[in-house]
Amino acid sequence: MPEAQVIPLDGPRRPPGPRPAPEAATTGRLHGVIDFLRRRLTGDFEVDEFGFDPQFTDEFLLAPLRPLYERWFRVQLRGIDNVPSEGGALVVANHSGTIAIDSVMTQLALLDHHPAHRHLRMLGADLVFQTPFLGELARKAGHTLACMPDAERLLSSGELVGVWPEGFKGVGKPFSERYKLQRFGRGGFVAAALRTRVPIIPTAIVGAEEIYPMIGSLPPIARLLGLPYFPVTPTFPWLGPLGMIPLPSKWIIAFGGPIHTDEMPESAADDPMLVLELADRVRENIQQSLYRLLVEREGVFF
C-alpha cells in the first residue's frame, strides 16, 4: 500500500495538535469503499421520489468532475452566502458553453463549497430524459423535468432548485453572441417561485462561454441525430475526441442577492404581467452582473 509508506518519521516538523492518523484514513477509506460496494450490489440504498440517489451522486457521479472544477476551470465563487442554508430557493443562471457543463459546475459549487453543502436539484428539458444514459444519470443526480408540478413539489419541500431559463438557445448560441442573454423562456420559473414563495437567486456564470467556442452548426447532422444543434468549434469535429477537451478558461460563479417573493400578493403567480415583469427583472440582474464580472476579470484563461 503506497499510503502506508508516507508516514512522516521526523516528529518536529509535524504541526502540533491532533491530526487524523494516516493509517486510520487508509483503512477507513477502504472500509468505506467496501461498504459502498456492498450497498450498491444489494440495492440497500434509498432514492427519493424523483429518483435522486445522493450516495451515487456524491461518491461516483461527481467525483470525476471535481478535478475539472478545481484544477481545470479553477472556479471562483462570489456571494455563496446569498444562497440560503435551508428551505426552498430558486437559483436562476445564464446558460452557455455548447455542452451544459455550467449547470454541473454550479451543482458542485453548492455541494462542496456552500456551508450547508446543498444539493442543487435542476429542472431539465424533456430531451434530457428521453436520451438513454443521460436521462438515467440526470434522474440519479436529482434532476427532473422542467414542469410546474415538479418545480412546485421540489420548492415546497424545501429543496434548492436550479433553472437555466435560456435552455438550448443559451447553450447552443454562436461564440459571437457570448454573454448576451437569450429569451428567458415563458417565465414559468417565476410563477413557481411565486406560488411557493421562495426567493429567487440570480446567478451569473462567467467563463463557460469560452470552453467550446461554437463557430458554426451543422443542422443536417443535428436533425439526423435528433439534437437541437450539432456544434462546430475550432477543434471539434476536426480533432475527433481530442476536440472534446474543453478549453481551460477561468470561471467565476457569482450568486446575486436574493429577490424575495414572499412580500408579493397571494395572486401574483396568476398575473401574467407581474410574472413576465419579474422574469425580466431577474434577466436584467444577471445581464448586469455578467457585464460587471467581464470588466473585472483580467483574462479569459488566467
Partner 1 sequence: MARVVLVTGAARHLGGQMTRALAKDPFVERVIGVDVVPPRKVLGEAEFIRADIRNPVIGKIIRSADVDTVVHMGVIATPVQAGGRAAMKEINVIGTMQLLAACQKSETVRRLVVKSTTSVYGAGPRDPALFTEGMAPKHPPTSGWAKDLVEVEGYVRGFGRRRPDVDVTILRLANFIGPRIQTAMTSYFSLPVVPTVMGYDARLQFVHEDDGIEALRVAAASEATGVFNVAGEGIITLSQAIRRAGRPWLEVPRPLLGFAGRSLGSRLADFSPDQVRFLTYGRGIDTGRAAHVLGFIPRYTTARAFDDFVRGHGLREGFTSRVVEATESAVFQAAAAAQRLASSAVDWGSSRSEVRRA
**Cβ neighbours for 11, distance < 8 A, ≥ 6 positions apart:** none
Rule CB under 8 A: say whether 42 interacts with partner 1.
yes
Select from 114, 119, 139, 173 the one that contacts partner 1 (CB under 8 A). 139
257 binds partner 1 (CB under 8 A): no
Q: Does the footprint of partner 1 cover residue 11 (CB under 8 A)?
A: yes
Could you tell me how many residues make up the chain?
A: 302
Which region, judged by CB under 8 A, interacts with partner 1, from 135-143, 214-222, 227-235, 249-257?
135-143
Q: Is 288 in the site for partner 1 (CB under 8 A)?
A: no
**Interface with partner 1 (CB under 8 A), residue from 13, 16, 46, 64:** 46
- Size of the residue set binding partner 1 (CB under 8 A): 46
Interface segment toward partner 1; rule CB under 8 A; list 44-52, 83-91, 163-171, 206-214: 44-52
Residue identified by cell 427532473 is: 144
Q: Using CB under 8 A as the criterion, what x/- string covers residues 12-41 for binding partner 1? A: ---------xxx--xx--xx-xx--xx-xx
Distance CA 121, CA 50 (A): 10
Radius of gyration for the alpha carbons in the chain, expressed in angstroms and rounded: 21
Closest Cα partner for 140 from 46, 215, 224, 232? Answer: 46
CB of 118 to partner 1, least distance (A): 19
Contact 171, 98 (CB under 8 A): yes
Place of cell 467525483: 63
- Our CB check for partner 1 shows the closer of 105 and 146 to be 146
> Which stretch, 45-53, 196-204, 247-255, 270-278, contacts partner 1 (CB under 8 A)?
45-53
- Contact in structure between 142 and 50 (CB atoms under 8 Å): yes
Closest CA to 167 of 196, 198, 126: 126
**Could you give the CA distance from residue 63 to residue 34 in angstroms, rounded to a whole number?**
17
Other CB atoms within a 10 A radius of the CB of residue 18 amount to 5
Indicate whether 142 belongs to the interface with partner 1 (CB under 8 A): no
Q: Which residues are at the interface with partner 1 (CB under 8 A)? A: 1, 4-5, 7, 9, 11, 21-23, 26-27, 30-31, 33-34, 37-38, 40-51, 53, 126, 129-133, 135-136, 139-140, 144-145, 147, 149-150, 153
